[in-house]
Amino acid sequence: MNQKFDYIEKVNGNLELPGDKSISHRAVMFSSMSKGESKIYNLSSGEDVKSTRKCFESLGVVFKDEADCLRVNGCGFKGFKAPEVSLDAGNSGTTARLISGVLCAQNFSARITGDESLSARPMERVITPLKLMGANIESNNGKLPLLINPSDQLKAIEYQLSVASAQVKSSILLAGIHLDDYTSVIEKEITRDHTERMLGLKVTRENEKKIISVSMGNYPEPKEYFIPSDISTASFFIVLALFKASPSIRIKNLSLNPTRTGMIAILKQMGAQIEIENMTNYMNEPAGDVVVRKSYLKNVKIDESIIPNIIDEIPVLAVAGLFAEGEFRISGASELRKKESDRIRSIINNLILTGIDVEEYHDGFAFEGKIKPMSFVFQSFNDHRIAMAFAVLSSLNQQGGEVSNFDCVSISNPEFLNQLSSIKS
């Protein structure tokens, strides 16, 4: 369904957002792996995390929704049961790639499927290292469905990532956590580090490289997980508030893990008035309140080394860039083409509707100029982050706009429209 957005004159007040999606996936997985009862507070309400939950339910994990938390009765080391159905990862790359690592070490076969978008996304990036570990995996030419069979040859490896991907890193670590010997993943470009923080893994640095090591000793125990709110979900409201806050919006208890705050750093360089208050820590994950005031923004050079840190925020950063002074340019971001949609194409297809000239590169895009004074009908491309980014653009446009298939936002944030209404004034 097309969702209409009227021009928003002012936003203010407080926002409390659901738990971070990446941390939520991991909390569901690690509590499922541990033996006995865990509780998860402020879990993401998105469909992606529900997909992870459903996969582990099929592996024998029992979940119970309580008023304030999710209770998880995990199966323990190699305690999962053979699933009677395919494990459906839905739209979620994190589910498919991380669970692949876990499944390599089990003594039963399991099949992983996904929706049309996920079935078109590359899986060889996890298949290659997992096969190097001795895993027995069949795939559809490097794509889903995957059939993961038991292997009695699983062995620890040292592996340098060839794509900057926290999903690939985590998949290898979750296979390695079943082995006596240490498996090490070497990163040249730093990606989000929730897996290593939440499992308490050993991290060393050698020159520019980061080495993360795991063994059976790191296998998770049951515990209480407190999940800070999702900075990627917040990014849409932050950009809106930078142009329309009066006097300010405060987003509470936001995850401020330094591997995820690149967007705030770039916006601040652009001139954004963003303050962090009430800093705290949830399970080794920094968090705090983010206060955003109306600001005058100028585009700045975005260094390619920061791309893995801002990969999910680029669609809305481009919207900020559109209303900022000067040229907006992103390069070194070819990974955007492998997300829920080809986000370089999705962003460009929508931006050209506004009448501006956009240059396309294999790894990014650039544009400058003023949008036409009219209402636009944007496409979501069934991609939650594209839908929300262009909802923000529509709300900043004097003539408003529409976004097609807006329901896809439920992948990460089913409450987006209610949250938006709550800060409108």
Could you say which residues in the range 286-315 bind ligand S3P, by CB under 6 A?
Answer: 311-312
DSSP, collapsed to helix, strand or coil, labels residue 78 as coil
Match 């080394």 to its residue by tokens: 305
- Of the ranges 77-85, 164-172, 206-214, 369-377, which one interacts with ligand S3P (CB under 6 A)? 164-172
Catalytic residue annotation: 312
Task: Check binding of 410 to ligand S3P (CB under 6 A).
Answer: no
Nearer to ligand S3P, 18 or 401 (CB): 18
DSSP label at residue 21: H
Residue number, 165 or 413, with CB nearest to ligand S3P: 165
Q: Which helix (H) or strand (E) holds 225?
A: strand 224-226
The distance of closest approach from Cβ of residue 259 to ligand S3P in the complex, given in angstroms and rounded to an integer, is 10
Dmax over CA atoms of the chain, in Å, equals 64
Give the shortest CB-168-to-ligand S3P separation in angstroms.
Answer: 7
DSSP 332-393: S-GGGGGSSS-HHHHHHHHHHHTT-EEEEETTEEEEE-PPPSS-EEE--TT-HHHHHHHHHH
Q: Does 165 participate in binding ligand S3P (rule CB under 6 A)?
A: yes
Per-residue binding string, ligand S3P, 169-198, x by CB under 6 A, is -x--------------------xx------
Q: Which stretch binds ligand S3P (CB under 6 A): 162-170, 216-224, 285-293, 295-303?
A: 162-170
Closer residue to ligand S3P (CB): 289 or 312: 312
> Is 24 an interacting residue with respect to ligand S3P (CB under 6 A)?
no
Subset of 75-104 contacting ligand S3P (CB under 6 A): 94
In one-letter notation, the amino acid at residue 23 is I
Tell me the closest approach of the beta carbon of residue 166 to ligand S3P, in angstroms. 4
Please list the helix, strand and coil fractions of the chain in percent, rounded to the nearest 5, in that order: 35, 30, 35
Q: What is the radius of gyration, based on Cα positions, of the chain?
A: 21
Name the CA dihedral angle for 77, 83, 87, 93, rounded to a multiple of 10 degrees: 10
CB of 382 to ligand S3P, least distance (A): 15
Nearest to 381 by CA among 400, 403, 362: 403
Q: Which of 8, 11, 22, 196 binds ligand S3P (CB under 6 A)?
A: 22
Interface contacts to ligand S3P, rule CB under 6 A: 22, 25, 94, 165-167, 170, 191-192, 311-312, 335
